[in-house]
Amino acid sequence: MLRTHTCGELRLSNKEREVTLCGWVQKSRDLGGMTFIDIRDRYGITQLVFNMKTDAGLCNKARKIGREYVISATGTVKERSNKNLNISTGEIEIMVKELKVLNPSEVPPFTIEEKTDGGEELRMKYRYLDLRRNPMKNNIILRYEMAREVRKYLDSIGFIEIETPVLIKSTPEGARDFVVPSRLKAGEFYALPQSPQTFKQLLMISGFDKYFQIVKCFRDEDFRSDRQPEFTQIDCEMSFVERDDILETFEGLAKHLFKKIKKFDYEGTFPRLPYVEVIEKYGTDKPDTRFEMLVQDITELAKGKGFKIFDSVEYIGGICAKGGAGYSRKQLDALTDFVRKPQIGANGLVYVKLNSDGTVKSSVDKFFSREDLNKWAEKMNGVTGDVLLILAGERTKTLFALSKLRLEMGKQLKLMDKDTFAPLWIVDFPLLEWDEENQRYHAMHHPFTSARKDDHHLFATDPGKIRANAYDLVINGVEIGGGSIRIHDKQEQAEMFRHLGFTKEEAEKQFGFLMNAFQYGAPPHGGIAFGFDRWVALFGGSNSIRDYMAFPKNTAGRDIMIDTPSLLSDEQLKELSLKVVNK
């Protein structure tokens, strides 16, 4: 080893020891007869000292060394007179005897400090330098620690990790599949998996009753800030289970991560809410439950009082912002602007202030009596000092807008503590979604999801009402994972494909191997998949999954560091029997 210790390791107890450290120059300072260099590696920072009086040659050498040079320094551990108690090595310094430049460095394109002056694009291009910064380094370490703890926990309860193939089969539905041309079979293609779904089901049929895999998945779609063309799933499947077994098993995993990574014990069991109820209460199926502020339906109370806007709509609902009666006219106008943004889509905002002096002030005083407004307040649990914020319109759209307004108020009232983690299981998702455009049903989760037994009769009468054996885990408003109990009966699977508008031939062609497998003893099974990148980002306290990947693509799906995607040589294209044509 070129070093005896790391830069985060030495303490007063190592005093007078001769050591060799290797690392990068964080910064250097010349103070009269002394030169100080902070040397950095993955583990920390240690101060090196050079004395002009005792070794002018060495000190002069040290003075020529710039930021980010890679150096090796040998010397003696000394107690610092000026201790820095903010860092773990701050009580000591190294009096250097020998200094080697292992590699010089150009001046980096941005400063490599906690906070950097580098723009997004520049930092992506020099990702390897950005990863030297503490916040980025810690993100990557957090990711590793979470992966390690996931594996440790699942291993401890009998799961085994099995690698499924990356070169699989494209399905006509898979407009979002990345494909891979085969050189040996001209004109044929593999596809990269959007998930290992069918393979994990086949593994259940093989008898591996507890499978997991931390696995790359791929989706060729337009990439928003929280999407990447390649992303990582914690993919899990179990046999001989029912829904609650899955929920309990993976609640255990989440609690393990809370404990090991976020260092707290989650008490009790995670709340569970049916989809219908969660939409009613929060306006969204990804609610942030760190704070209450439930949506209340006041349609019955607010209709028929002569306020035309309310009288003509399907739904009127609102939230009560605790302590918000002090909101100024300006603040309320800003909220009105907020809900009118196209991506929120409300037409306007009605407010009712329950002033501390006992008066009630609303934007609809003309149409509603004090008694009317009191009834609203009562329904919405509003008390003196609160403000009621009310939206009206088509039910689904209004609930959506209320969910956004609720989040905004949560933010403004500082109800979203970043150290609080509020998990929620959402269960009983609808099995099918009606697709207006194609006039047919889509599977809300995926076509392998089973319906709740007590809803099977609805296939004949009202398929849209069928509840699936499907569930999501949401933490602080982030959908961390989702899954379902699968169909394991060939006949039931065939019927599901029929409901989804597949012809028998299409179903056979795309999923024949799975349906065939169902004939040879498929066990009851179900599973879940977690978005690992998102979970890491949630625990890291950021919205951007990119910050938690070592080498992500930008929002255009491009790796600007290595500059890809890129053109192939004609030779390569010819070998693949391909020609690029214009769109």
Considering only residues 163 to 192 of the shown chain, the ones binding its own copies according to CB under 8 A are: 163-170, 172, 174-175, 177-192
- What distance in Å separates the CA atoms of residue 423 and residue 473, rounded to the nearest whole number? 7
Give the CB-side neighbour count of residue 374, counting CA atoms within 13 A.
Answer: 5
Lookup result for tokens 């020529």: 64
- DSSP string across 115-133: S----HHHHHHTHHHHTTS
Q: Tell me whether residue 282 or residue 518 sits nearer to its own copies (CB atom).
A: 518
477 to 496, contacts with its own copies by CB under 8 A? 488-489
511 to 550, contacts with its own copies by CB under 8 A? 513, 517-524, 549-550
Q: Tell me whether residue 144 or residue 264 sits nearer to its own copies (CB atom).
A: 144
Residue 411 Rama label (left phi>0; alpha psi -120 to 50; beta): alpha
263 to 302, contacts with its own copies by CB under 8 A? none
Reading the block at residue 495, the tokens are: 């019927």
408 to 467, contacts with its own copies by CB under 8 A? none
User: From the list 36, 218, 258, 266, which residue makes contact with its own copies (rule: CB under 8 A)?
Assistant: 218
Tell me: does residue 551 bind its own copies (CB under 8 A). yes
Q: Which stretch binds its own copies (CB under 8 A): 47-55, 227-235, 290-298, 500-508?
A: 227-235
Separation in Å, CA 306 to CA 287, 316, 363, 446, 505: 34, 14, 15, 46, 58
Output the 3-class SS for 249-312.
Answer: HHHHHHHHHHHHCCCCCCCCCCCEEEHHHHHHHHCCCCCCCCCCCCCEECHHHHCCCCCHHHHC
User: From the list 137, 411, 440, 457, which residue makes contact with its own copies (rule: CB under 8 A)?
Assistant: 137
* Count of residues interacting with its own copies (CB under 8 A): 125
**In terms of DSSP bridges, do strands 423-427 and 470-475 run parallel, antiparallel, or are they unpaired?**
antiparallel
Q: Least distance (Å) from its own copies to the CB of residue 113?
A: 14
- What distance in Å separates the CA atoms of residue 170 and residue 172, rounded to the nearest whole number? 7
Q: Least distance (Å) from its own copies to the CB of residue 244?
A: 9
Q: Tell me whether residue 68 or residue 251 sits nearer to its own copies (CB atom).
A: 68
Q: Tell me whether residue 8 or residue 345 sits nearer to its own copies (CB atom).
A: 8
Contact predicate 154/236, CB 8 Å: yes
Q: Least distance (Å) from its own copies to the CB of residue 564?
A: 4
Q: Tell me whether residue 193 or residue 324 sits nearer to its own copies (CB atom).
A: 193
Q: Tell me whether residue 275 or residue 497 sits nearer to its own copies (CB atom).
A: 497
Residue from 500, 492, 481 nearest 524 by CA: 492
Q: Which stretch binds its own copies (CB under 8 A): 82-90, 257-265, 278-286, 566-574?
A: 566-574
Q: Tell me whether residue 80 or residue 127 sits nearer to its own copies (CB atom).
A: 127
Lookup result for tokens 């930092």: 123
Q: Which stretch binds its own copies (CB under 8 A): 197-205, 254-262, 405-413, 464-472?
A: 197-205
Contact predicate 233/217, CB 8 Å: yes
Tell me: does residue 141 bind its own copies (CB under 8 A). yes
Binding mask 10-49 for its own copies (x = CB under 8 A): ------------xxx---------------xxx-------
Q: Tell me whether residue 242 or residue 333 sits nearer to its own copies (CB atom).
A: 242
Reading the block at residue 290, the tokens are: 């760190």
Q: Least distance (Å) from its own copies to the CB of residue 215?
A: 9
Tell me: does residue 56 bind its own copies (CB under 8 A). no
User: From the list 27, 36, 52, 208, which residue makes contact with its own copies (rule: CB under 8 A)?
Assistant: 208
Residue from 479, 457, 482 nearest 467 by CA: 457
Tell me: does residue 129 bind its own copies (CB under 8 A). yes
Q: Which stretch binds its own copies (CB under 8 A): 27-35, 126-134, 329-337, 464-472?
A: 126-134
Give the CB-side neighbour count of residue 103, counting CA atoms within 13 A.
Answer: 8
Q: Which stretch binds its own copies (CB under 8 A): 9-17, 80-88, 144-152, 318-326?
A: 144-152
Q: Least distance (Å) from its own copies to the CB of residue 391?
A: 37
Sign of CA dihedral 552, 555, 558, 560: negative
- What distance in Å separates the CA atoms of residue 418 and residue 505, rounded to the nearest whole number? 51
Binding mask 75-114 for its own copies (x = CB under 8 A): ---------------------------xxxxx-x------
Q: Is 171 exposed, middle or buried (0-12, 13-18, 19+ CB in 10 A)?
A: middle
**In terms of DSSP bridges, do strands 34-41 and 18-31 run parallel, antiparallel, or are they unpaired?**
antiparallel
User: From the list 10, 62, 73, 203, which residue makes contact with its own copies (rule: CB under 8 A)?
Assistant: 203
Buried residues in 349-388 as b, exposed as e (16+ CB within 10 A): bbbbbbeeeeebebebeebbeeebbebbbebbebeeebbb
Q: Tell me whether residue 181 or residue 463 sits nearer to its own copies (CB atom).
A: 181
Measure the CA angle with vertex 431, ends 426 and 435; round to 5°: 115
